[in-house]
């Protein structure tokens, strides 16, 4: 089994303009999908994020850490939420991503996690 991260990218400009009834539907569909993930054992973790303007960038590479107002990437599309799922292979992960995409009404990017290093390494 491999773990995959399924990320949902929101358009920050349009996300606030979604009518409440559509938002409600989205919540219900995502909850249904999450329940399915838990019941089938694919669930590892999932979460929705606060808007990108709440982000803070931290640079700890210098002598003293530098904090600045985020987000880090200058783009209109930011990660709005994600799932981490366990799947047998990419085909299985893509199938889950298609369901997740439908539920949250947005495009989903699928990326495999690195294999865990050997425990005795």
Distance CA 75, CA 73 (A): 6
Closest by CA to 57, choosing from 46, 68, 73, is 68
Q: Which of 2, 25, 34, 101 binds another protein (CB under 8 A)?
A: 2
Q: Judge contact between 93 and 30, C-beta under 8 A.
A: no
Q: Is 88 a binder of another protein (CB under 8 A)?
A: yes
Identity of the residue, 52 or 96, whose beta carbon is nearer to another protein in the bound complex: 96
Identity of the residue, 76 or 111, whose beta carbon is nearer to another protein in the bound complex: 111
Binding site for another protein (CB under 8 A): 2, 88-91, 93-94, 110-112, 114-121
């Amino acid at each position: 089994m491999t773990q995959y991260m399924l990320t949902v990218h929101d358009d920050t400009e349009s996300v606030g303009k979604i009518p409440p009834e559509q938002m409600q539907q989205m919540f219900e569909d995502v909850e249904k999908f999450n329940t399915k993930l838990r019941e089938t054992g694919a669930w590892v973790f999932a979460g929705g994020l606060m808007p990108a303007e709440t982000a803070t960038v931290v640079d700890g590479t210098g002598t003293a850490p530098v904090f600045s107002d985020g987000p880090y990437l200058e783009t209109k599309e930011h990660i709005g939420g994600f799932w981490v799922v366990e799947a047998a292979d990419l085909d299985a992960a893509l199938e889950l991503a298609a369901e997740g995409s439908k539920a949250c009404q947005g495009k989903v990017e699928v990326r495999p996690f690195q294999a865990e290093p050997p425990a005795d390494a």
